């Protein structure tokens, strides 16, 4: 299974990473190796086997719908890289 | 002689009978950390003043005859991806280097309620992704038995601080072996409980269907004590199990005569270091001499464990780590001014827009190589056209792996094998070849995929002076059986009492 730098570039955009050209080369080699190894799963007959998404397969877990204390706005904003005391600040999305 | 030569249970008895004060224990722990940790590097943060204040408060209440908690005065170290409101929580990542959680994890709240003393936060592979603690972006942790070797990972800091007798108790987390493998490499006892046994609320997520918090200590008896204080249902974690918590300390006192143990012969006879093969085989003789009944058993799909795990864990990781966007908390890359932009960056900005550029530059700078690799792997496996072939396929094999265990536990009460194929390796030996690092997880990942408990205890030391771990696994909620076997073994042997050479 060969993964090319062009594939890596597409996935990096999906993953919101911004790999350098050097990282792109190394990533293509590493991913090719790992995905190649993972190919061995294809040799197992899994027809009729239900996918197992979780270690304990719980039914819906319900909680009483009551108001409880939640984080204050100050606490919620306290770790934000940029905020104005009311909102998180991000780079302009729609232009200046 | 240090106070910390005592086990946690012995210290607790000394504290309860007023032979020592909590302040003495904590002062001794802090001074050992200050003197002995710099060359080892277990701790990322030491809660010096907070720990002393909490210890004095325990002493004051005890003096006044007021009630104190079950762990009153015992220092506990926490792997630094467990949220603490009064201490930084970094995940050993640049992304969270300055993160201060606005709440405590449930295990932390329970430890505070038990009057345990939260002594500090220990190093780990970045976001718990790794098997050597080398992927920590903040610090190197060395194996106390040989400083040229890794302590294992990802809970390498917690393992190293226990092996160095800096604290009697620590918590680690295990997603694919991250408690058991460093416990084996550092010669300590580490338990990964059944999935859902310990609340994950406030544990920063790596792979949510696999992650589990568990005790790392010097003995099975101390692990029983710490599990008792942290296990149990939590309404804040919808995957926590609403199953009664048994009395673990009472359970370990039971004899093991008649318990049926399945020897994982295929694992033992695979490409395992001969010294590990010998030590694990000798451990079976010890358990047999104590009355355990041994038979060989096979988990036919466990050979596919690593392949299955390295699809499922990165898929979950790529989703969980999407939250690090430079907006709500954590690191954000500085915005470049128009004058600072190169031609290609200007073109990217034009095509992607300022927000996506910020996300990408933030994540590119904030995450280290291994974390990026897993995010990429997970994103690739989940992307259109590959989902069925990788993610869904791996989930089907995951069920086959679980069914192997279910069949085995119809015949035996526990499974026994090696924790790792080799003892602790050298720095750099595997860090340039991710697949070789992943293959070292062969014996531990299946328990996470199946959601079942596993425990690592010391069972030997190589000629080179490196510890060897014995792996005991059991069915759902069989922690009492595993701790009972481990305790019986530790009553009959002294591997758990061995200490690294002091230098």
- Residues in chain B, pLDDT under 50: none
pLDDT in tens, A11-62: 999 999 999 999 999 999 999 999 999 999 999 999 999 999 888 776 788 8
Segment 342-381 of chain B within 8 Å of chain A by CB = 353-361, 363-364, 367, 369, 372-373, 375-377, 379-380
What is the maximum span of chain B, computed from C-alpha positions, in angstroms? Answer: 77
- Name the fold adopted by A5-43: Histone, subunit A (1.10.20)
pLDDT in tens, B38-51: 999 999 999 999 99
Annotated active-site residue B393? The verdict is: no
Residues 6+ positions from B208 with CB-CB distance below 8 Å: B200, B239, B316, B320
**Phi-psi bin for B258: left (phi > 0), alpha (psi -120 to 50), beta?**
left
CA distance B229 to B301: 35
Segment 442-501 of chain B within 8 Å of chain A by CB = 448-452, 476
Domain boundaries, chain A: 5-43
Which chain B residues touch A50 with a CB distance below 8 Å? Answer: 396, 399
User: Of B301, B358, B392, which has the smallest distance from its Cβ to A91's Cβ?
Assistant: B358
DSSP sequence for B138-177: S----BTTBTTB---SSSHHHHHHHHTTS-SEEEEEESSS
Residue A95 has pLDDT above 80, yes or no: no
| Mutation site for A-interface testing, chosen from B86, B303, B376 by largest number of A Cβ within 10 Å | B376
Which chain B residues touch A40 with a CB distance below 8 Å? Answer: 304, 307
Which chain B residues touch A2 with a CB distance below 8 Å? Answer: none
Choosing from B7, B42, B79, B302, which is the catalytic residue? B79
pLDDT of residue B503: 54
For B457, the enclosing helix (H) or strand (E) is strand B454-461
| Mutation site for B-interface testing, chosen from A56, A65, A73, A74 by largest number of B Cβ within 10 Å | A56
pLDDT of residue B171: 98
CA distance B53 to B39: 27
Q: Closest by alpha carbon to B184, among B162, B210, B204, B212?
A: B162
Residues 6+ positions from B165 with CB-CB distance below 8 Å: B2, B4, B5, B32, B218, B499
- In this structure, how many other beta carbons lie within 10 angstroms of the beta carbon of residue A57? 9
> Which three-class secondary structure state does DSSP give residue B414?
strand
CA B237 to chain centre: 19
| Mutation site for B-interface testing, chosen from A36, A62, A91 by largest number of B Cβ within 10 Å | A91
Q: Which residues are registered as beta bridge partners of B468?
A: B460
User: Of A13, A44, A80, which has the smallest distance from its Cβ to B328's Cβ?
Assistant: A80
Tell me the shortest Cα–Cα distance from B448 to chain A, in angstroms. Answer: 8
Tell me the shortest Cα–Cα distance from B300 to chain A, in angstroms. Answer: 11
CB contact under 8 A, B363 and A17: yes
Annotated active-site residue B158? The verdict is: no
Choosing from B42, B135, B136, B154, which is the catalytic residue? B154
DSSP sequence for B333-373: PPPPPGGG--HHHHHHHHHHHHHHHHHHHHHHHHS-HHHHH
Q: Closest by alpha carbon to B455, among B251, B107, B223?
A: B223
Question: Please, what is the angle between helix A5-14 and helix B369-382, to 10°?
Answer: 90
CA distance B61 to B57: 6
Domain boundaries, chain B: 3-252, 304-391
pLDDT of residue B236: 93
User: Of A34, A42, A91, which has the smallest distance from its Cβ to B354's Cβ?
Assistant: A91
Annotated active-site residue B79? The verdict is: yes
Which chain A residues touch B95 with a CB distance below 8 Å? Answer: none
Q: Which architecture characterizes domain B3-252 according to CATH?
A: Alpha-Beta Complex (3.90)
ipTM associated with this complex: 0.95
CA distance B274 to B269: 9
The verdict on B69 touching A (C-beta cutoff 8 Å) is: no
Which chain A residues touch B375 with a CB distance below 8 Å? Answer: 15, 17
């Amino acid at each position: 299974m060969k993964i090319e730098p062009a594939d890596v570039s597409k996935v990096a955009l999906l993953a919101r990473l911004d790999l350098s050209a050097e990282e792109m080369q190394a990533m293509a080699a590493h991913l090719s190796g790992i995905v190649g190894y993972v190919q061995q799963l294809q040799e197992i007959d899994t027809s009729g086997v239900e996918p197992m998404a979780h270690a304990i397969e719980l039914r819906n877990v319900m909680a009483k719908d009551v108001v409880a204390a939640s984080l204050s706005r100050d606490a919620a904003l306290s770790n934000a890289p940029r905020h104005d005391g009311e909102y998180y600040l991000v780079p302009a999305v729609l232009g200046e | 002689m240090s106070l910390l030569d005592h086990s946690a249970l012995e210290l607790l008895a000394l504290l309860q009978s007023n032979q020592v004060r909590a302040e003495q224990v904590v002062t001794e722990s802090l001074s050992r950390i200050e003197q002995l940790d710099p060359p080892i590097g277990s701790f990322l943060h030491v809660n010096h003043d907070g720990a002393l204040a909490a210890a004095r408060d325990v002493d004051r209440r005890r003096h006044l005859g007021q009630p104190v908690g079950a762990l009153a005065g015992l220092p506990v170290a926490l792997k630094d991806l467990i949220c603490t409101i009064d201490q930084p929580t970094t995940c050993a990542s640049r992304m969270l280097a300055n993160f201060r959680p606005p709440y405590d994890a449930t295990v932390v709240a329970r430890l505070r309620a038990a009057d345990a003393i939260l002594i500090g936060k220990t190093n780990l592979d970045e976001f718990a992704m790794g098997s050597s603690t080398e992927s920590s972006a903040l610090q190197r942790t060395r194996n106390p038995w040989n400083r040229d070797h890794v302590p294992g990972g990802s809970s390498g800091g917690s393992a190293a601080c226990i092996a160095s007798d800096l604290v009697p108790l620590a918590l680690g987390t295990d997603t694919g072996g991250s408690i058991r493998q460093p416990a084996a490499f550092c010669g300590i006892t580490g338990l990964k409980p059944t999935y859902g046994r310990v609340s994950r609320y406030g544990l920063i997520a790596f792979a949510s269907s696999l992650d589990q918090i568990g005790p790392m200590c010097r003995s099975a008896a101390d692990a029983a004590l710490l599990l008792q204080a942290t296990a149990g249902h939590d309404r804040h974690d919808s995957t926590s199990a609403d199953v009664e918590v048994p009395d673990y300390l009472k359970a370990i006192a039971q004899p093991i005569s008649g318990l049926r143990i399945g020897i994982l012969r295929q694992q033992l006879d695979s490409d395992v270091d001969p010294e590990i093969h010998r030590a694990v085989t000798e451990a079976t003789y010890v358990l047999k001499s104590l009355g355990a009944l041994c038979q060989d058993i096979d988990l036919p799909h466990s050979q596919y464990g690593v392949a299955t795990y390295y699809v499922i864990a990165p898929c979950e990781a790529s989703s969980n780590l999407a939250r690090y966007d430079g907006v709500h908390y954590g690191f954000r890359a500085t915005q470049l001014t128009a004058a600072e932009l190169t031609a290609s960056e200007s073109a990217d900005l034009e095509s992607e827009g300022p927000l996506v550029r910020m996300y990408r530059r933030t994540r590119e700078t904030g995450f280290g190589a291994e974390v990026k690799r897993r995010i990429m792997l997970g994103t690739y496996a989940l992307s259109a056209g590959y989902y069925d072939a990788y993610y869904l396929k791996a989930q089907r094999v995951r069920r086959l792996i679980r069914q192997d265990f279910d069949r085995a536990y119809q015949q035996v009460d526990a499974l026994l094998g090696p924790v790792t194929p080799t003892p602790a390796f050298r720095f750099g030996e595997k860090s340039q070849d991710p697949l070789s690092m992943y293959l070292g997880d062969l014996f531990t990942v299946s328990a996470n995929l199946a959601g079942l408990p596993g425990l690592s205890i010391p069972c030997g030391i190589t000629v080179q002076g490196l510890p060897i771990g014995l792996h005991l696994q059991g069915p759902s909620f069989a922690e009492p059986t595993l701790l009972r076997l481990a305790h019986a073994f530790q009553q009959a042997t002294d591997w758990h009492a061995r200490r690294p050479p002091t230098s």
